[in-house]
A and B are shown apart, each in its own frame.
Chain A
Amino acid sequence: MAVKSIKINGRMVSARAGESILEAAEDAGIHIPRLCHVEGVSDVAACRMCLVKVEGNNKFVPACMTPVEEEMIVETETPKLQEYRRMIVELLFAEGNHVCAVCVVNGNCQLQDLAIEVGMDHSRFEYRFPVRGVDLSHRLFGRDDNRCILCTRCVRVCDEIEGAHVWDVAGRGSKSRIVSGLKEPWGKVDACTECGKCVESCPTGALFFKGSAVGEMERDRDKLKFLITARQKKEWTR
């Protein structure tokens, strides 16, 4: 296997050919903020949080989907990138109805974590207060569109790991929504195996276990990782 050496934030980092900048940085202990990336499933580069600057490229590139190249020089924390990341998080908060105080994942939410990470204490953009629905038709789980940030993690996890493809995206632009089945209530979708992987993968409180109270729900994110390692490396350990 070919190995490449790249430079991230001035540090030499070795990477396997075909690896993404994000993976190489992670191995080297350099953290790049991300939101739509989940280990083990394909990437979509939708959240734009992991954008980095690559020397010689006049556009920012998503670290999750850009393969390393020999002698690549990457900057992950330029002032501009930090500012843009903060604006992205602000846009997300203004777009949906994210009220931490009444959310099941308060204190265990990746959007919340990200807001703290990028130093967002308020949104400069006006809150949109959209009218969105809640689907409680499933026996075990619930979906609250108010908290959905359309990262499509659930879509990919269900399709690529569970193979059920219960989820997909409908609508366009700001009217895009995650839908189950053929836009049916979740509880009516025969394809759903009730495995709960989508719930585990959700970064916010949009998908949740029924019966969780405010701040009570914790996600077992390692479960997904365990499944993927088990499949790819045949290592059945947690």
Chain B
Amino acid sequence: MDLKELLTIAAKEEEEAKEICINCCTAAGCNAANAVELKKNLDKAVKAAGLDHKIEVQSVGCMGLCGRGPLVEIDPDNILYEQVKPDQAASIVDAVNGGETTAIQFDMEHPFFAYQFPIVTENSGRIDPERIESYIAVGGYQQLYKVLYEMTRFELINEITVSGLRGRGGAGYPTGLKWGLSAKMPGNQKYVVCNADEGDPGAFMDRSVLESDPHRLIEAMAIAGYAVGANHGYIYVRAEYPLAIKRLNKAIQQAKKYGLLGSQIFQSNFDFKVDIRIGAGAFVCGEETALIASIEGKRGAPHPRPPYPSEVGIWGCPTVINNVETYANIPVILREGGEWFANIGTEKSTGTKVFALTGKVKNSGLIEVPMGMTIREIVEEMGGGATVGSTIKAVQTGGPSGGCIPASKLDTPVDYESLQELGTIMGSGGMIVVDSETNMVDFAKFFMEFCRDESCGKCIPCRAGTVQMYEILQKIAEKRATQADLHILETLAPMVKETSLCGLGQSAPNPVLSTLRFFREEYLELIESSHNGKVPVSAERIDKS
């Protein structure tokens, strides 16, 4: 493969494109709503109408409005149909041909789409994730060619540093700096890892990228490999994402066949291969040191940092670990330039962020917005506000490691620092809207239960501390608690936060601390309505494990 061949493929793809394209989302969300059947029916309907010369039905990735799937988009008319039933296929084909349709149309001018700034998701819902030609046609793999032939490793790393890109997995460490560290480490063997073990409840950004645009990730990982001098990449993806795994496998095979992975990529002296490692369902394996242990075939338990993986990673070799979304930004940064990217968003948090907007909100789904947009704009305008008959009480970000933003603070801009000030984190991008129906103690209890079950058990504060915190929350929720219990909870939470070994334990108390900060009265109400705090020891408390 050389650049000419790559451009030929792109040109051929363009040439063969039909006049009208019916894009049918077949990512997990729409799939669950019977999109596969719909796609088949659309194919049949086009054939039956004798329009196959003019209309192509394409299976594409996520279009974002997951709460209203299955989605069908008509290109180039830019019409979006929501909640399409398989038997509406013929009527949609009719409409394309000038007729009428029974399918519900979604307004593309709605803030949900109008406010978006697609970088990571620029190809999602537009290309066929299972065909490499479809990715090449939109300029795919050209950035890999560019870095191999036009940039030195350090020019490349500088470009990423200039862009100000920060890790999208949650911690927000500058990506350019991370790559630079690994690049400067001595040693012949280095690794590049993609963390696709997205485990936060309510978060599905990475899944969407993997299912909608897998080649982008492979291209970005190869670029990272060139930057740090690694010839081997691992994608650590959770087993709960079978469609993503299938599409990744397919993408790797196609890239290999075209010589875009393997030895002497684009006839340069750069070799790179990618392997998939499938997680066995432990949330803690999203923590980078536990993830490395898991890739090595060991028990997925974290170990203390430093040394950081950039110095000592897989099998002791320098390893770059980035999240899916971080990688997905790379090709665009190289195409448009670091400066361009740095101008998007805020000064310290550049670029965009993909959020999975869920919970008690009208329009749930995936959105990509520039950093610095206020939470109010996201939730009330894009999300359309709370579901009918209720009001928004809080917005939770960062999953079990994050915290709540009360309704009074909805004008906070989303950037790493502002969220941290409120005691929550950007996290990987889960954004759960909580309405007045939900009790915040219950809400904190849900996340504590999650952390308790997902603690690996290695260090004591997390293993035993989460159990104790959960029990106290349970007591409060069941109106069995006293002020003394609240006091214990308030001393234990900071202790677990400050003494736990890894990020899971260090952040497990966050939902409690944050709800205590903003919704303390709900805790007190439940405690005061306890039977004067004099309740006999409940038998349920005894651990049956």
> Do the two chains belong together in a single complex?
yes
- Write the chain A residue with the least CB distance to B468: A125
Distance A65 CA – B289 CA, assembled complex (angstroms): 15
Knowing A44-B303, A91-B461, A124-B488 touch, does A60 contact B499 (C-beta < 8 A)? yes
Is A228 in the interface zone, CB < 8 Å from B?
Answer: no
As a 0/1 sequence over residues 444 to 482 of chain B, the CB contacts with chain A under 8 angstroms (1 = contact) are 000000001111111111011111100100000000000
Residues in B with CB closer than 8 Å to A173 are 452-457, 463, 466-467
The minimal Cβ–Cβ distance linking A176 to chain B, given in whole angstroms, is 3
Is B495 in the interface zone, CB < 8 Å from A?
Answer: yes
As a 0/1 sequence over residues 65 to 76 of chain B, the CB contacts with chain A under 8 angstroms (1 = contact) are 000000000000
- Write the chain B residue with the least CB distance to A85: B499
Distance A51 CA – B304 CA, assembled complex (angstroms): 12
Which of the 9-residue segments A11-19, A126-134, A181-189 touches chain B?
A126-134
Is A79 in the interface zone, CB < 8 Å from B?
Answer: no
Q: A174 touches which one: B461, B542, B545 (CB < 8 A)?
A: B545
Number of interface residues, chain B, beta carbon within 8 A: 36
- Write the chain A residue with the least CB distance to B461: A48
Question: Residue among A48, A83, A175 with the most chain B CB within 10 A?
Answer: A48
Interface residues on A, range: 35 or more
Knowing A84-B495, A91-B460, A173-B453 touch, does A130 contact B543 (C-beta < 8 A)? yes
Q: B454 touches which one: A62, A87, A94, A172 (CB < 8 A)?
A: A172
Task: Say yes or no: A88 contacts B461, CB within 8 Å.
Answer: yes
Residues in A with CB closer than 8 Å to B467 are 95, 128, 173-174
The B-contacting residues of A in range 142-184, CB under 8 angstroms, are 149-150, 168-169, 171-176
- Write the chain B residue with the least CB distance to A151: B460
The minimal Cβ–Cβ distance linking A189 to chain B, given in whole angstroms, is 18
Task: Say yes or no: A174 contacts B498, CB within 8 Å.
Answer: no
- Write the chain A residue with the least CB distance to B501: A45
The B-contacting residues of A in range 57-91, CB under 8 angstroms, are 59-62, 65-66, 83-84, 87-88, 91
Question: Residue among B455, B459, B460, B542 with the most chain A CB within 10 A?
Answer: B460
- Write the chain A residue with the least CB distance to B306: A66
Distance A60 CA – B506 CA, assembled complex (angstroms): 11
Is B492 in the interface zone, CB < 8 Å from A?
Answer: yes
Task: Say yes or no: B457 contacts A174, CB within 8 Å.
Answer: yes
Task: Say yes or no: A128 contacts B463, CB within 8 Å.
Answer: no
The minimal Cβ–Cβ distance linking A94 to chain B, given in whole angstroms, is 7
The A-contacting residues of B in range 284-308, CB under 8 angstroms, are 284, 299, 301, 303-304
Distance A28 CA – B463 CA, assembled complex (angstroms): 33
Task: Say yes or no: B463 contacts A150, CB within 8 Å.
Answer: yes
Residues of B participating in the A interface, judged by any CB pair closer than 8 Å: 282, 284, 299, 301, 303-304, 452-461, 463-468, 471, 488, 491-492, 495, 498-501, 541-545
